[in-house]
Amino acid sequence: MSINSAISAAMSGLTAQSRAIHVISANVANSMTEGYATRRLNVASSVVGGGVRVVDVERQTDPILDGLLRQSGGATAGSDTQLDFWNRIEQAIGLPGDPHGLTGKVATLENALVSAAARPDLDHRLSAVADAGNDLAGHLNALEKQVQSQRQGADAAIGADVDALNLGLERIAVLNRNIVRLQAQGHQALGLADERQKLIASLSEIVPIREFQHPDGRIALYSEGGHLLLDTRPAELSFATSPAMDASMALEDGTLSGLRVNGQALSTAQTGPLAGGRLAANFAIRDVDAPSAQTALDRIARSLVERFQDPATDPTTAPGQPGLFTDFGLALDPAQIDGLAGRLALSDTVLPEAGGDLWKLRTGLGAAVPGAVGDDRQLQRWVEALQRPLPGETGSATRSFADNVGQTISGISQARHATEERATHAQAYHAELQHQALSMGVDVDSEMQRLLQVEKAHAANARLLQVADDLMRQILEI
């Protein structure tokens, strides 16, 4: 090797080691930066002049693990969203035995009726019946508002997520263009690639995303269901939030907005093309979960109205007339059941503050005169109305009203439990994948070891230059 070749090789080595030090320092400095991928310097032998040359700086990633992380992140966000809904509904209804819950309100009404039947002459016991009936109706009213509030919240969350998706896809499209431009000019765009991956990870909580890498550095994005979200241009999602919500509103009849992508209607079912994340979970809450909870509450309200509207329960009222519990003061209309829990009300005929009379609890709603104060027959019929075995829904077993309420609450608890199991599994799976991803991140100890090796190589190249310099001096002194 000539002296010139030795100097050239040493200089190329110093250049490569300086670049390696820069890469290592960047790795250590960004070891806790979200979305940062470990850099590795790739070098190769130089054909001209010997030594080494820097090929490029590579981002160390695992595309398969990244894809699994996005999928599990979306599943976790979706299941957590649905679990939060069922937890709120279950807490609002109250667990069996809770005196402030629905079963507690039913028990209070039944106990008040039994107590009043034992002493029908005592007005304060009749007043306790009216208070308990009002309390039960008010609790069902509040539950209906809670369900519709949750639907409204899900609808608003859908709108926010659609806006976030549109903005995120546009930003990724801009990054795509910048990365392609830089790479076409011979530059690397590692920082832009980090930012792009961070954006994809955040959007995957809304809709789990798969990516396809183009040779020019651009990526195309697809949902897990295979729907194209971004290629040369980002897809445009549209959704109209609802300013109000009630039990009669539904996606099927057009009173609630569906989702459109590039102007085309797209299925929002949990098995649809955009399934798997928070967006599909909020559609499920708005269009499936909340309506099923509303149906359960309306079924309870209907049973209560029908039991007390039955002519056998109160012979003083004509068939088809309102009973003790009403649909906002009216008799039950089987064609208008949606939202009945929110309209349930105790009859004004027994409420003194509404111009009614407490003694009608003792004599019947249609009675013209108070009758004998010791007559407990009508109060006993009220008690029997609650205890009479009737089906909670068509085809179900016959139970007392309290048992039907308990069965409904059990169904809601089962839905919450099933969602909780899915959420727990999704969280555990996502946590394990995150642990594996962290193990592929920047290992500061390993980077320090590499730095020591670089320093030794740097010293060796510097020593070679010094030797070459000494040889040149000796040659010049001859």
Q: Which of 270, 209, 202, 274 is nearest to 237 (CA)?
A: 274
The b/e string for 123-161 (b: 16+ C-beta within 10 A; e otherwise) is eebbbbbbebbbbbbebbbebbebbbebbbbbbbbbbeb
Q: What is the pLDDT of residue 46?
A: 72
Number of domains in the chain: 2
Q: Look at the pTM and tell me if it is higher than 0.75.
A: yes
Q: Are residues 55 and 76 in the same domain?
A: no
Q: Is residue 380 part of a domain?
A: yes
Q: Are residues 43 and 78 in the same domain?
A: no
Which segments of 246-333 are extended strands (E)?
A: 259-261, 264-266, 325-327
- Secondary structure letter of residue 321 according to DSSP: S
Q: Are residues 53 and 71 in the same domain?
A: no
The C-alpha atoms of residue 387 and residue 381 are separated, in whole angstroms, by 10
Is residue 283 classed exposed, middle or buried when 0-12, 13-18 and 19+ CB atoms within 10 A define those classes? Answer: buried
Q: What is the pLDDT of residue 48?
A: 65
Q: Are residues 150 and 175 in the same domain?
A: yes
Q: What is the pLDDT of residue 292?
A: 95
Q: Is residue 436 part of a domain?
A: no
Q: Is residue 29 part of a domain?
A: yes
Q: Are residues 111 and 190 in the same domain?
A: yes
How do the pLDDT tens digits run along the chain, 478 residues long? Answer: 577 777 777 787 777 788 878 878 877 877 777 778 777 877 877 766 667 777 777 777 788 888 888 999 999 999 999 999 999 999 999 988 788 899 999 999 999 999 999 999 999 999 999 999 999 999 999 999 999 999 999 999 999 999 999 999 999 999 999 999 998 888 888 889 889 999 999 999 999 999 999 988 899 999 988 899 999 899 999 999 999 999 999 999 999 999 999 999 999 988 889 999 999 999 999 999 999 999 999 999 999 999 999 989 999 998 889 999 999 999 999 999 999 999 999 999 999 999 999 999 999 999 989 989 999 999 999 999 999 988 766 666 788 999 999 998 999 999 999 999 999 999 999 999 888 887 777 777 787 888 888 788 878 878 877 877 778 888 887 7
Q: Are residues 260 and 309 in the same domain?
A: yes
Q: What is the pLDDT of residue 50?
A: 66
Q: What is the pLDDT of residue 317?
A: 92
Q: Are residues 206 and 259 in the same domain?
A: yes
Q: Is residue 247 part of a domain?
A: yes
Measure CA 329 to chain center: 38
Q: What is the pLDDT of residue 230?
A: 95
Q: Is residue 249 part of a domain?
A: yes
Q: Are residues 384 and 470 in the same domain?
A: no
Q: Is residue 136 part of a domain?
A: yes
Q: Are residues 235 and 358 in the same domain?
A: yes
Q: Which of 284, 239, 242, 241 is nearest to 266 (CA)?
A: 239
Q: What is the pLDDT of residue 134?
A: 96
Strand 228-230 and strand 237-238: pairing? unpaired
Q: What is the pLDDT of residue 90?
A: 94
Q: Are residues 383 and 398 in the same domain?
A: yes
HSE, side-chain direction, 13 A CA sphere, residue 361: 33
Q: What is the pLDDT of residue 186?
A: 83
Q: Is residue 363 part of a domain?
A: yes
Q: Are residues 364 and 465 in the same domain?
A: no
Q: Is residue 423 part of a domain?
A: yes
Q: Whole domain around residue 11: which residue ranges?
A: 3-60+441-477
Q: Which of 254, 190, 195, 196 is nearest to 220 (CA)?
A: 196
Q: What is the pLDDT of residue 79?
A: 96
Q: What is the pLDDT of residue 25?
A: 83
The C-alpha atoms of residue 257 and residue 152 are separated, in whole angstroms, by 12
Q: Are residues 129 and 144 in the same domain?
A: yes
